[in-house]
Amino acid sequence: SPPFPSSAFTLLLRYDALSGSGFQAAVPPSVLDHLLSSQSVKMECFASPLNHRYPNYCSAFPDTDSPFGSCGSFFDFEPKVGNFESNPPFVPSVITSMIEHIDELLEGTVEPLSFIIIVPEWRSESCWERIRSSVHLKKFVTVKQKDHVYREGSAYRRRSEERIASFDTTIFWCQNEEGERAYGNE
pLDDT tens by residue, 106-149:
999 999 999 999 999 999 999 999 999 999 999 999 999 888 76
What does the alpha-carbon distance between residue 156 and residue 168 come to, in Å, rounded to a whole number? 25
The secondary structure of the chain in percent helix, strand, coil, rounded to multiples of 5, reads 40, 25, 40
Rounded to whole angstroms, the Cα distance separating 58 from 27 reads 15
Looking at the predicted structure, is the pLDDT value of residue 16 above 80?
A: no
Biggest CA–CA distance in the chain, Å, is 47
β-strand pairing of 82-86 with 113-120: parallel
Nearest-CA neighbor of 66 among 78, 58, 54, 74?
Answer: 58
In this predicted structure, what is the pLDDT of residue 13? 77
Around 66, how many Cα atoms within 13 Å sit in the side-chain half-sphere? Answer: 8
Q: How would you class 181 by CB atoms within 10 Å of its CB: exposed for 0-12, middle for 13-18, buried for 19 or more?
A: exposed
Reported residue count of the chain is 186
* 73 has pLDDT over 90: yes
Report in angstroms the alpha-carbon separations of 30 from 7, 27, 107: 29, 8, 31
pLDDT over threshold 80, residue 163: no
Q: Which residues, 6 or more positions from 60, have their beta carbon under 8 angstroms from its beta carbon?
A: 46, 48, 73, 89
